[in-house]
């Protein structure tokens, strides 16, 4: 993310932190990589539970 420009390493340096805040506070076009997936994990998990656990029990009753 640092290479992509969506993060800065500041440590505890107050000047670097203030500069990073000013930089990111003024940006409106940041593009973040999808390192955490697409935001649909809960829906996928629920569908898997229903299709693999609940549905077979209904059909076997």
Instruction: Please write the tens of the pLDDT for every residue from 41-54.
Output: 899 999 998 888 87
Give whole-number Cα distances, 42 to 17, 31, 32, 36, 48, in Å: 35, 23, 21, 13, 10
Q: Residue 59 pLDDT more than 80?
A: no
- Give the global pTM: 0.49
């Amino acid at each position: 993310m640092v290479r992509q420009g969506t993060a800065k390493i500041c440590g505890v340096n107050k000047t670097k932190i203030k500069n990073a805040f000013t930089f990111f506070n003024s940006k409106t076009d940041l593009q973040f990589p999808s390192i955490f997936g697409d935001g649909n994990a809960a829906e996928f998990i629920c569908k898997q539970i229903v299709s693999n656990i609940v549905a077979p029990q209904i059909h076997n009753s």
